[in-house]
Amino acid sequence: MANTYTQIHIQTVFAVQNRQSLINKEWKDELYKYITGIIQNHNHKVLQINGMPDHIHILFGMRPTQSLSDLMKQVKQDSSKWINKKGFVNGKFSWQAGYGAFSYSKSEISNVIHYIKNQEVHHKSVSFQDEYLQLLNEFNIEFDERFILKPIF
């Protein structure tokens, strides 16, 4: 679109189905590269991607050429198919329904990148569910407790 100028930075967070710890450190970097490729193929720019065995954080610059929901559908759908095709997990891999999406100003980007890079350290003291609730509350997002990602027991 000619004469369209934007600066949209989004962090998305989504979990493995049933919060299972299926993302193995042996292939997680390959998964992150694959997801980065999906996002870049839609003309968006990945700034940082990282996560834990049960969830992923992605910070990217988004172009206004596609809806966020369509992009996330594509990322989750294509990466699930790729994981299953590669045979990285026993059984069928899938992502949990839904995702969190949070927007940031340019001045916040370096802090968000640092936060995402340091997920392993962060999760030594904060559970994923607590982290997710903190993000929802920090951004004043109304939510229904029934649909919040629950831990597996």
DSSP state at residue 149 = P
Q: Do the domain assignments include residue 153?
A: no
CATH number at residue 44: 3.30.70.1290
Domain that holds residue 37: 9-147
Q: Do the domain assignments include residue 87?
A: yes
pLDDT in tens, 68-101: 999 999 999 999 999 999 999 999 999 999 899 9
Token representation of residue 138: 């920090």
Which residues, including other chains, have CB under 8 Å from residue 132's CB and lie 6 or more apart?
Answer: 13, 100, 148, 149
Domains in the chain, number: 1
Q: Do the domain assignments include residue 43?
A: yes
pLDDT in tens, 48-70: 999 999 999 999 999 999 999 99
Q: Do the domain assignments include residue 1?
A: no
Q: Do the domain assignments include residue 4?
A: no
Whole-prediction pTM: 0.88
Q: Do the domain assignments include residue 18?
A: yes
State residue 31's pLDDT score. 98
| Tokens 């994981």 sit on residue | 83
